[in-house]
Amino acid sequence: MIDLHMHTRFSDDGEFTPESLVEQCHQAGVQIMAITDHNCAKANEIAALEAERRNIYYVPGIEVDCSFEGVDFHILGYGIDHKSPDFIRIEQDLKAQEMETSLMRLQKTRELGFDIHEDELRAKAEGSHWNETWTADMFAEILLSKEEYKDHPILLPYREGGARSVNPLLNFYWDLYSQGKPCYVQTNFPQVQDVIRIIHQNGGLAVLAHPDNNLNGREEMLDSLVSLGIDGLEAYSSYHTDQTAQTWAAAAKRHKLLITCGSDYHGKMKPAIKLMDYGSPPDLQKMAAVFIERLEAAKN
């Protein structure tokens, strides 16, 4: 009945139009939804209109890449004024960096021994809202399609039957292009405290996405994030096992934070992840009611 984390083509790794995604939610029985594109709020206007036509409660959202004490985080903003210049500035700032960082990703990929060319990546990015950006999934799609690399040991885990073949494009990112990995390129993301402030100034709630991804082994950082004003934790996520979901839900309760749930549905980037694929939260209806109550209070 609820999914608060999904992506459209306005993300650099999303597959669907806003209209298509709202229709999929309607067909799946989603009653409360939020589109949270990476660093872009532009899908919300279209999606809100489409959701209203289908009697779906729509929550304007965004997922902002940001940094805190040298660690990259994703902060979800809910109930935001999606037309605010603040979110346009976030998008423009990251777009301005992307061609340089994309070229650096290309260089690091070549250093792994792969022959890949700029024109291949430009063709893959053509028509994208983020056509300046060459993402890990683009590199993966190109390299996995090359006959000369069919038996390359780096790529074998992502091929059918391989150890990383479930959501292979996503796993390719986590294994090779995420923070600390060989093809990672640092981007000057905004600081967490600034993102939280911007979300609050625009009538929204700030929730830490899939906390086990970034706080596993750094649990002490949660205290700092709470002190900076974070409103909630996405305890129920497709990234979390039942056990880790319960751990983060308990942490949210200790800190008097909201508990939210979201699938992080993208389409081809994460084909194994479906809408409302976030485990089985106890008393989901109560969670949804508390979330909506807090959203309404944040507007006032």
**14 domain residue, yes or no:** yes
Q: What is the pLDDT along the chain (300 residues), one digit of tens a residue?
A: 999 999 999 999 999 999 999 999 999 999 999 999 999 999 999 999 999 999 999 999 999 999 999 999 999 999 999 999 999 999 999 999 999 999 999 999 999 999 999 999 999 999 899 998 999 999 999 999 999 999 999 999 999 999 999 999 999 999 999 999 999 999 999 999 999 999 999 999 999 999 998 898 899 999 999 999 999 999 999 999 999 999 999 999 999 999 999 999 999 999 999 999 999 999 899 999 999 999 999 887
Q: What is the Cα gyration radius of the chain?
A: 19
Tokens of 118: 């700029």
Q: Rounded distance, CA 143 to CA 204, Å?
A: 40
Domain extent at residue 104: 99-177
Cα separation, 70 vs 239, whole angstroms:
22
* Confidence at residue 199, expressed as pLDDT on a 0 to 100 scale: 98
Query: What's the confidence (pLDDT) of residue 214?
Result: 85
Q: Are residues 254 and 213 in the same domain?
A: yes
Domain-located, residue 183: no
**Final residue in a domain of this structure, among 128, 144, 177:** 177
Whether residue 60 lies inside any domain: the answer is yes
Same domain, 169 and 217: no
Asked whether 273 and 266 are in contact (CB, 8 A), the reply is yes
Is 185 a member of any domain? no
Residues 164 and 198 in one domain: no
- With a CB cutoff of 8 Å and minimum separation 6, the contacts of 34 are 3, 4, 5, 6, 58, 59, 60, 61, 76, 78, 262
- Give the integer Cα–Cα distance in Å for 234 and 214: 12
Nearest to 287 by CA among 239, 243, 242, 234: 234
| Same domain as 293, residue 211 | yes
* Same domain (yes/no): 289, 197: yes
In a shared domain, residues 115 and 263: no
Domain contains 184 = no
Return the beta strands (E) in the chain as ranges: 2-3, 32-35, 57-68, 71-78, 205-208, 232-237, 258-262
Per the structure, the count of domains in the chain is 2
Q: What is d(CA 91, CA 93) in angstroms, rounded to the nearest whole number?
A: 6
Residues 36/7, Cβ–Cβ less than 8 Å: yes
210/6 Cα distance (integer angstroms): 13
- Phi, psi of 116, rounded to the nearest 5 degrees: -140, 145
Does one domain contain both 68 and 199? yes
Q: Are residues 87 and 194 in the same domain?
A: yes
Task: Please tell me whether residues 56 and 15 are part of one structural domain.
Answer: yes
As beta bridge partners, residue 261 has 236
| 111-122 pLDDT per residue, tens | 999 999 999 999
User: Are the beta carbons of 176 and 152 closer than 8 angstroms?
Assistant: no
Angle between helices 118-125 and 136-145 (to 10 degrees): 120
Does 262 reside within a domain? yes
Answer yes or no: do 108 and 139 share one domain.
yes
Query: Six-digit token pair at 156?
Result: 């074998």
Q: Tell me which of 177, 199, 231 is where a domain ends.
A: 177
**Residue at 182 is within a domain:** no
DSSP 182: T
Per-residue H/E/C for 72-130:
EEEEEEECCCCCCHHHHHHHHHHHHHHHHHHHHHHHHHHHCCCCCCHHHHHHHHCCCCC
Q: CATH number, domain at 10?
A: 3.20.20.140
126/266 same-domain check: no
Q: Do residues 263 and 236 both lie within one domain?
A: yes
**Strand order from edge to edge, sheet including 71-78:** 2-3, 32-35, 57-68, 71-78, 205-208, 232-237, 258-262
- List for the chain the helix, strand, coil content (%; round to 5): 45, 15, 40
pLDDT tens digits, one per residue of 218-244: 999 999 999 999 999 999 999 999 999
Last residue of a domain, one of 130, 146, 177: 177
